[in-house]
Amino acid sequence: MVSASGTLRSRASGTPETSDPVGAVAGLIASPSLRWTACPLGTRPGIVRARGHVLGLEHQGHPERHLRLERSTRREVCRAQRRIAIRRCGLGVDGARECREGRIARGRGARDGRRRRRVRSPECPLQGHLRTPDPQHEQGQRDDGVGPCAIPFHHPASQCNFFGMHSPLSSASDARPTLLVTGGAGFIGSALVRQLIAETDVNVLNVDVLTYAGNLESLGAARHDPRHVHVRQDIADAAAMRALFAAHRPSAVLHLAAESHVDRSIDGPAGFVQTNVVGTFTLLQTALEYWSQLDAAAAARFRFVQVSTDEVYGSLGPEGAFSEDTRYDPSSPYSATKAAADHLARAWHRTYGLPVLVTNCSNNFGPYQFPEKLIPTVITRALAAAPIPVYGDGANVRDWLYVDDHARALRLVLARGEPGRTYNIGGGCEQQNIAVVRRICALLDARRPDPAGSHERLITFVRDRPGHDRRYAIDDRRIRNELGWDGETDFDTALAATVDWYLANEAWVQRVVSGEYQREALWLEAARPAL
């Protein structure tokens, strides 16, 4: 059961099991990870209720810290807190019964018998709230006696305090900015997150709904870093996005979440419209509302980076390259929805002043790419001695960009880019598809010889894809000249490193191909409350 001070106790013995059940609940909202079912000792938050509604969560000893929540968001928080407490924080059968009966941390009927009193805080937007006084914590002491009742930054449950009064990824003494990265469990997004965690000191809020292409394993060591928090949520859910912005207070948004496979967009375009268009609109509108309430200095620093593709420009002839001024001419449902998203982003800048930057990149490749894309498809099918499909005559030309170089370019645009500007990001390496396929086969022949002969024997030309663009090429002089970007990895070196990675990580490939990696995601989806 839960006392009015927020301590979870065993019904049989009355001994404390954990002193932060709601903090753990909040952490689980921010990052639905199975490993966070334990609750930390040392902090004792209390649920603040009035007339049966959650008004906020207060760290006792710090009554001035409160999260400003709109009324609708408070109701969502209340529902989410109760559902997650039952499912994920070890309340058990008795705790679930008490929660259903409305006896957990009620404003009345506190089991310790102490009187509840009204406390007014000059900085609290929810004046006249109720809480249970705790003498120890009002003096600013933690249960372990090691110092002030400040939330330790390094603990996952404390850094993810969804209901908390300050940024869940920072504490009063932590000046690190928080970057909101959407699609951070995807191919490009995970590369960006890994790089941000490894090479900077920023906090990363990773919002990814974990569709078929989203895989938390792609985050590597960054997945469990205390500066990284994953939230499984749909960017098209406006209420959830508002709550996340309010709780985490991001300094910038890097929007990479998108449905991105052309073949899938041809078979089922509705999902692409929902994610790429509606999702981007929702995120832009939420960011605008959040940005408009920032103080002048924070508003001047805020950025929204819309990450897009060169496919919005359509198809090129044998000469020329796409510049930032090239007219949009998308050919597939995928590229059309990305074009729509880019137009929305620019409109929100021109109409409302939101500091938006747009990037358009060429074809990415590298480790952790989902096997439906060209390069991992060739590698995996060649290793399985299966036919390697090549569309049409294989002469379609793409400009290839190593994913780590792309991530560095995005960081550069965020740091130095001018709001309202568009930046093309290319690899400077045009290759016909058939040439790339043959180069991969040669690398595999050297590294994993097949007794039956060269892997090139598996190449099979198939009917061309509808609306298949013939050639892409990127003119990236703007980002090079204005921001000083330069791709660090040449194509041959990066391709060899990519092949080596797939050979060394066949277990990861098998988990993705079999769908095993999604089992945890499906379980989490079943357990996740609707916000």
423 is catalytic: no
Q: What is the pLDDT of residues 255-267, one digit of tens each?
A: 999 987 788 889 8
CA distance 496 to 198: 23
Window from 118-122, 140-144, 286-290, 320-324 with minimum mean pLDDT:
140-144
The residue from 20, 311, 430, 476 that is catalytic is 311
Average pLDDT rounded to a whole number, residues 155-180? 49
334 is catalytic: yes
pLDDT at residue 107 is higher than 80: no
Q: What is the pLDDT of residues 352-401, one digit of tens each?
A: 999 999 999 999 999 999 888 899 999 999 999 999 999 999 999 999 99
Q: What is the pLDDT of residues 272-297, one digit of tens each?
A: 999 999 999 999 999 999 999 999 99
What is the reported pLDDT for 365?
97
Band (pLDDT 50/70/90 cuts) for residue 161 is very low
Task: Calculate the CA 464 to chain-centre distance.
Answer: 34
Contacts of 2 (CB under 8 A, 6+ apart): 8, 9, 21, 91, 95, 98, 104, 105
**Could you give the residue range(s) of every CATH 3.40.50.720 domain in the chain?**
178-527
Measure the CA dihedral 482/485/491/496, to 10°: -170
Please indicate, yes or no, whether the overall pTM of this predicted structure exceeds 0.75. Answer: no
The residue from 310, 399, 430, 469 that is catalytic is 310
310 is catalytic: yes
Q: Which amino acid is at 141?
A: Q
CA distance 402 to 394: 21
What is the reported pLDDT for 8?
37
Band (pLDDT 50/70/90 cuts) for residue 174 is low
How does the average pLDDT of the chain come out, rounded?
74
Sheet hosting strand 397-402, strand order edge to edge: 363-365, 397-402, 430-432
Fold of 178-527: Rossmann fold (3.40.50)
Q: What is the pLDDT of residues 423-468, one digit of tens each?
A: 999 999 999 999 999 999 999 999 999 999 999 999 999 999 888 9
Between the alpha carbon of residue 19 and those of residues 66, 77, 200, 414, the distances in Å are 20, 20, 33, 40
DSSP-derived 3-state class of residue 425: strand
What is the reported pLDDT for 264?
87
